[in-house]
Chain A
């Protein structure tokens, strides 16, 4: 199945729940099958599938999406001091930080940084103006960074005992 891994991954980061992510992804392919006649050959198939994913997700999460926007834009700083970033970033740390980024920003960070869609493709998939995509990406990356530095801080010194898979540690 094309792009299954990418879609599942994104779905899981967006809904925080493996079972729900699986359902969501299956729905995306079903929907794609049904509306295949609307797909224009030669256009980006992955972007099309993501468009369906977001369409469904937003349907499910309309209220959440709205509230996530409200509390994330309270602090409108442009070029404030950026918190330090640890030299080595562990998988679980960056994923934990990502989890804390509100949905409206998380989805854009995922599309831009993980799936490497262009601004234009993101704007089309999410039905947002290009400027909004840019500002949310910027804000989302910043929130991710702040989260990351907090997670790193919370370890304190020495860090977690159950960290057996610390391959990221130097």
Chain B
């Protein structure tokens, strides 16, 4: 190994710092000092160029590496299969364990015959709560469809239209600590489903209150899968895609409260909102079909 003859300590320092410089990890002052040296030192500046050339070549070569055909598709299939696997085999989150424990108890208490009903109900809850979470993620989080400064109540009422304008004060009142920034009617691409969407900010995050038409679907009425029940309304809670969601059924709608706050908090807000929304939807009349939280018969075979 032949050591180069550096004419100054500065060169040695510069070489030592070059790695951090390349990774943009040097302090501003140190960078300045280094750049000043590079201006006057041809050897060091050549050396830096060499290192940059390798780095760029590596980035370029890596970017040109082809992805194997069908990798995305294969992965998709595997993920889908994994998703369909029974939840107790997935090493899933604690709520799954809680549900599993509840389910085991249910078997002991009500017998195996009820088991498939329960499992079916659980799946239904999952599917319906997923609607709320995906609407929240799609419109509020990824779409960022809300202003930094809240729209005025007049604007929001207009956006909601006469049918839903009266829900605005209800939602505002029942979300203590939150400010409603935006309210509108959302459509789901590729589906006839529409939903009323309130986006609020508070407690350092964004929260959605969503009312979506039930289209004949219903949350199961069994108390075993519900997190709580209040009046004649059952509440369902879940963690999905990093979000907490609480869902309930009012009139012809499913209601959801979604955010990344705690599940408990979503449940509490939902319990406050549901009766008020139910009343408001009833006086609104026509749309809220009289079923008032009572579901049509279950579709279990």
Interface residues of A, Cβ cutoff 8 Å to B: 1, 4-5, 8-9, 12-13, 18, 22, 25-26, 29-30, 33-34, 36-37, 39-41, 75, 77-82, 84-85, 87, 89, 91-92, 94-95, 98, 109-110, 112-114, 118-119, 134, 137-138, 141, 144-145, 148
Number of A-B contacts (CB under 8 A): 116
Given A12-B65, A145-B54, A148-B54, A79 contacting B79 (CB threshold 8 A)? no
B239 CB–A CB distance under 8 Å? yes
Is the pair A26, B53 in contact by a Cβ cutoff of 8 Å? no
Chain-A contact segment, one of B12-20, B100-108, B143-151, B178-186: B12-20
Q: Is the CB of B71 within 8 A of A39?
A: no
**A80 contacts B1, C-beta separation under 8 Å:** yes
A8 to chain B, nearest CB (A): 6
CB distance from B208 to the nearest CB of A (A): 14
CB-contact partner of A79 in B16, B50, B75, under 8 A = B16
Main secondary structure of the interface of A (DSSP, over half): helix
What is the predominant secondary structure among interface residues of chain B facing chain A? helix
B8-59 CB contacts (< 8 Å) to partner A: 12, 15-16, 19-20, 22-23, 25, 47, 50-51, 53-55, 57-59
> B280 → chain A, closest Cβ, in Å?
31
A29 touches which of B6, B54, B79 (Cβ 8 Å): B79
B74-A85 in contact (CB<8A)? no
**How far is it, in angstroms, between the C-alpha of A88 and the C-alpha of B62 when the chains are bound?**
16
- Chain B residues whose C-beta falls within 8 Å of the C-beta of A85 in the assembled complex: 50, 53-54
Q: How far is the CA of A77 from the CA of B2 in the complex (A)?
A: 10
